[in-house]
Amino acid sequence: MGGDVVEESADPAPAGGPRASSSRPKLTILPLIALIFFDVSGGPFGVEDSVGAGGGPLLSLLGFLLFPLLWSVPEALVTAELAAGFPANGGYVLWISSAFGPFWGFQEGLWKWASGNLDNALYPVLFLDYLRPSLSPATRAAALAAITAALTFLNYRGLHIVGLSAILLAAFSLSPFLALALLALPKIQPRRWLAFDPRRVNWRGYFNSMFWNLNYWDKASTLAGEVEDPTRTFPRALYGAVVLVVASYLIPLLAGTGAMDGSRTGEWTDGYFAQVGMVIGGPWLRWWIQAAAAMSNMGLFQAEMSSDSFQLLGMSEMGMLPAFFAIRSKYGTPTISILFSASGIIFLSWMSFQEILEFLNFLYALGMLLEFAAFIKLRIKKPDLHRPYKVPVGTLGAVLLCLPPAFLLILVMCLASARTFIVSGSVMLFGALLYPAIEYMKSRNWVKFISTSVHSQSSFESAQTQQQAVDEASVNLLPDCSSGKSRKTEEEDPEIDLEGVSKVE
């Protein structure tokens, strides 16, 4: 399957470009579950803040029971339907373009890419914090650049390698918490789970912590074109990842808060699970948890960079970004897009953790509101859109499904600081100006773009027939984004999805 772009342009694809590595290995369900796990979670590292900010274990435990129902499950369901219906690189940029046109698709891409790069800037820093917190500033800066370069090279080396390493890293990152849970069992006192001090509640910190630890379910959709049988694999992988993520939070929290002295709630901040391991199991468990945290940050970095770079590749294949973003290496990875994302990570890594957290949450919330709107709009505007997986609700049900997470998104945005509003507003203004500037460059042929001219009906039908022989469920992958629209239809409907780009799996 997928990712190759059918072009009418006489210009050949660049060497190592979009046509390269057509026989590259595809992601199967287990690597995809591992990548989604790292896109969203990476383990319970960072959930300690929810105990401290929530004034005790009660709000934290309730949050990780209720938030997945109100937020994670709806987002995963929406992602499953739209990723199966648009199984190509670019993910949510495709969905928004189909629902609201390319301008808003571009804005979605910019917001989510900026949010992802802010998120990924955290992980090399946290990796160093777990391993050597006493490094000098100069040594730390050099180590940060070296680690970023090493992890970037691994990402360049092949998505299948990233997927397999994600499986191993997930297993290692979660293994000490199985030991922690078993050792904590005799010491657990359930009454400690009910501890709650309303005077210590920091609502902004609590909601930001909850939101950050349970978002990015849609992130892996940007590399759907690299997945084996995405119309079936994506929904199954999302279901598996939801169970894995919720369990990876609740089991360590139940073990740690139930076995530890309830009067030490104020000590529950980032990295406190290492101390929990020390108290419950001894130094060996603390070191194991610290090593798992460091390795988890590697997995988080890898998954985020893969999603961000394939998003840029997908946008280039749609004609939204210059063609060089779609250039692939001999390993099938988007070389320029990876380097571009790595540069953004290094540039942003000087910011503080809380600054990054608020900025990325706000931009991510903007993008998710647009995705929920697109989900509803496509149900109304394009009821006949081929949906290999469909959330089993009607239009009213789709609206009701999106209301609780939309409320949480707006709440998180309202709790943001004035500085976050200013920075996010600047990103939005930049996107609004950048889109017409790129369109102007395209019209003047200043930079090469992948052709998005409309192809013949017979060419697209031939591709569909070939795909149907392999997998009937994948027929008509992008029915409204395809070259199958006639010139007459284009004139009647100005919202031509992806400006006529056809994906052939």
Mind listing the pLDDT tens digit for each residue in 372-419?
A: 999 999 999 998 888 888 999 898 999 999 998 999 889 888 888 888
Report the alpha-carbon distance of residue 60 to residue 439 in Å, rounded.
47
Report the alpha-carbon distance of residue 125 to residue 135 in Å, rounded.
12
Report the alpha-carbon distance of residue 77 to residue 245 in Å, rounded.
15
Residues 6+ apart with CB under 8 A from 458: none
The answer to whether 449 touches 323, Cβ cutoff 8 Å, is yes
The answer to whether 192 touches 262, Cβ cutoff 8 Å, is yes
The better pLDDT of the pair 117, 492 is held by 117
Could you give the number of structural domains in the chain? 1
Residue 227's nearest CA partner among 74, 390, 86 is 86
Report the alpha-carbon distance of residue 390 to residue 145 in Å, rounded.
44
Asked whether the CA dihedral 254, 256, 259, 264 is positive or negative, the reply is negative
Q: State which residues form the domain around 425.
A: 4-504
What residues does 430 pair with on adjacent strands?
none
Residue 394's nearest CA partner among 383, 409, 386 is 383
- Among 75-84, 86-95, 358-367, 456-465, name the one with the lowest average pLDDT: 456-465
Model pLDDT for residues 245-263, shown as the tens digit of each residue: 999 999 999 999 998 876 6
Letter string b/e over residues 190-225, b meaning 16 or more CB atoms within 10 A of that residue's CB: eebbebbeeeeeeeebbbbbbbbbbbbbbbbbbbbb
Residue 161's nearest CA partner among 219, 113, 226 is 226
CATH number, domain with residue 268 = 1.20.1740.10
Report the alpha-carbon distance of residue 6 to residue 328 in Å, rounded.
16
Residues 6+ apart with CB under 8 A from 375: 78, 81, 82, 95, 398, 402
Q: How many residues can be counted in the chain?
A: 505
Model pLDDT for residues 32-68, shown as the tens digit of each residue: 999 999 989 888 987 888 888 888 889 999 999 998 8
Q: What is the DSSP letter of 326?
A: G
* pLDDT computed for residue 21 by the predictor: 41
Mind giving me the DSSP string for 245-263? HHHHHHHHHHHHHHHS-GG
The better pLDDT of the pair 494, 140 is held by 140
What dihedral do alpha carbons 483, 489, 492, 498 form, nearest 10°?
A: -10
Measured at the CA of 33, the angle between CA 29 and CA 34, to 5 degrees, comes to: 120
* pLDDT computed for residue 342 by the predictor: 80
- Residue 445: half-sphere exposure toward Cβ, Cα within 13 Å: 1
Residue 220's nearest CA partner among 314, 96, 101 is 314
Report the alpha-carbon distance of residue 470 to residue 472 in Å, rounded.
7
Tell me the one-letter amino acid at 188.
Answer: I
* pLDDT computed for residue 354 by the predictor: 63
In Å, how far from its chain's centre is CA 273? Answer: 25
* pLDDT computed for residue 331 by the predictor: 85
Give pTM, 2 decimals. 0.78
The pLDDT confidence band at residue 9, using thresholds 50, 70 and 90, is: very low
